[in-house]
Amino acid sequence: MNYTSTRGDTQTPTLSEIVSRGTAADGGLFVPADWPALTGDQLDALLQGSYAETAVAVLKHFGGNSFTTGLLERAIPAAMDKFGAAANPPLKQITDHLWSLELFRGPTFAFKDYALAPLAEILDAKLASEQRRATVLCATSGDTGAATVSAFANRSRLNVIVLFPNGGVSEFQRRQMTTLEADNVLALCVDGDFDDCQRIVKALYQTPQADEFGFTAVNSINLVRILLQTAYYFHAAGNISRQTGRNASFIVPTGNFGNVYAAYIARQLGAPINRLVVTSNENDVLPRLFECGKMEATETHKTISPSMDIQVSSNFERFLWHLKGKSGESVRQAQQQLAEQRCYALSESELKALHHDFSAHRCSTEQANDAMRWMWSDFGKIVCPHSATAVHAARQLQGTTDDQLVLVETADPAKFSSAVHNAIGQQPPPPAGAEKLMTASEQFTAVSASLDAVLTAIESRLR
């Protein structure tokens, strides 16, 4: 399996090298040069295995042999053991044609656990075999930070530095990052917004300390994270196909385009999947792209689904590379335009190709509230405001298609209890294991939104 950068850089790292690397040297993202060709038996195995078995097999098809022998086979099941009954993401049938994939039953109650928990185990084992240490850096608007802290806490070879915006995450999410008793975790409450946190993290990689502390990224542009997520789409599509004889269509609440890109990979490899539906809140940069062929980043609006308050979907660059016929130079030009002019345009044929693989739906706050009320009144099910955008799209699609529609539920409603309470007049119950969270004592360091302040805090902890 060969990897290449979406912007044409010619270095060809192995999967094992990619796991601890962020972007390619030219600023692009790593993509497999070709999809692995699977035999019928190999595809059946992916559709029938447990989540852990399928995740191991997917990574193997994508060059997993570059890891030490047996590393993936040990690390991934060890991580999933901690999920209990949710080690296989629960799939629930709601009506004849509507299903829900509940990806929020892991340790921190959002889908990010399914990739970050095994990723932490893989990275830890890799560092042990190389006798190295590393420091994971993470800027978060909430869920990624919680999942990262939980996955990496108390690992002797790893430190975790998480930067979250002061007032920019829910109390529940903040407490998930600040109440773990772990010496290797430093939570930094930055007096700024999420963009400040991300800017500082990017700048940290350029400092002399980057080598000294071994700064490493685990954000959603990490290809191994996306490949791990591919496993739950195989698992769910396999189950639906066996039970109904039909293909599944996934409706995915989207921010950085990582989760839905994982579904796209599963379909490209032959999983019984029909359409892929992207949903967004008022930050509707993707639905606008689908309508007029222009990727145009505007100002970010704060909504009740903060994990989707994104104007630049970083992983879309991977799909753009396919749209541009794998031309690194064309992708580089488009991304440069996006950076400088906040905009690029697709050609008519590229737009057509985009519609062939995906569709996109926007959902206003009002419509999300309606969707939460509908789920509650008609099915007794409480969904989070992110998942509500998928519910809204499902209501629009029902009746227009024979597909088995699958709501991809990305977070537990209890993480966003005030928005949910607002919509349905009911407090979502705290998930099992979260009771202590709201009373435990918190540990974090408040810093100003400057590189110097953050570096000083990191040095005083790590040196």
Ligand X SMILES: *Cc1c(COP(=O)(O)O)cnc(C)c1O
The reply on whether position 217 binds ligand X by CB under 6 A is no
Q: Give me the helices (H) in 324-443, please.
A: 328-341, 348-357, 365-379, 385-397, 417-424
The reply on whether position 4 binds ligand X by CB under 6 A is no
Residue closer to ligand X by CB (options 79, 276) is 276
Judged by CB under 6 A, the chain residues 238 through 297 that form the site for ligand X are: 253-259
The reply on whether position 371 binds ligand X by CB under 6 A is no
| Binding test (CB under 6 A) with ligand X, winner from 110, 125, 136, 240 | 110
State in angstroms the smallest separation of the CB of 262 from ligand X: 8
State in angstroms the smallest separation of the CB of 253 from ligand X: 4
Judged by CB under 6 A, the chain residues 295 through 334 that form the site for ligand X are: 307-308
The reply on whether position 411 binds ligand X by CB under 6 A is yes
Cα 23 to chain centroid, rounded: 16
State in angstroms the smallest separation of the CB of 257 from ligand X: 5
**Cβ atoms within 10 Å, residue 337:** 14
Tokens standing for residue 305: 């689904």
DSSP lists the bridge partners of residue 217 as 137
Residue closer to ligand X by CB (options 114, 213) is 114
The reply on whether position 389 binds ligand X by CB under 6 A is no
Q: What are the φ and ψ backbone dihedral angles of 253, each rounded to 5 degrees? A: -60, 120
The reply on whether position 107 binds ligand X by CB under 6 A is no
Residue closer to ligand X by CB (options 231, 411) is 411
Residue with tokens 């992708």: 331
**Cβ atoms within 10 Å, residue 116:** 32
The reply on whether position 139 binds ligand X by CB under 6 A is no
Q: Count the helix, strand and coil residues of the chain and give each as a percent rounded to the nearest 5.
A: 50, 15, 35
If DSSP codes are grouped into helix, strand and coil, which group holds residue 144? Answer: helix
The reply on whether position 168 binds ligand X by CB under 6 A is no
State in angstroms the smallest separation of the CB of 275 from ligand X: 17
The reply on whether position 46 binds ligand X by CB under 6 A is no
337/6 Cα distance (integer angstroms):
15
Q: How many residues bind ligand X (CB under 6 A)?
A: 16
- HSE, side-chain direction, 13 A CA sphere, residue 305: 34
- HSE, side-chain direction, 13 A CA sphere, residue 254: 32
Residue closer to ligand X by CB (options 13, 253) is 253
Residue with tokens 């290809």: 223
The reply on whether position 220 binds ligand X by CB under 6 A is yes
State in angstroms the smallest separation of the CB of 7 from ligand X: 21
If DSSP codes are grouped into helix, strand and coil, which group holds residue 172? Answer: helix
Residue closer to ligand X by CB (options 127, 276) is 276
First to last CA, the chain: 39
State in angstroms the smallest separation of the CB of 86 from ligand X: 16
Residue closer to ligand X by CB (options 159, 254) is 254
Task: List residues near ligand X by CB under 6 A.
Answer: 110, 112, 143, 220, 253-259, 307-308, 386, 410-411
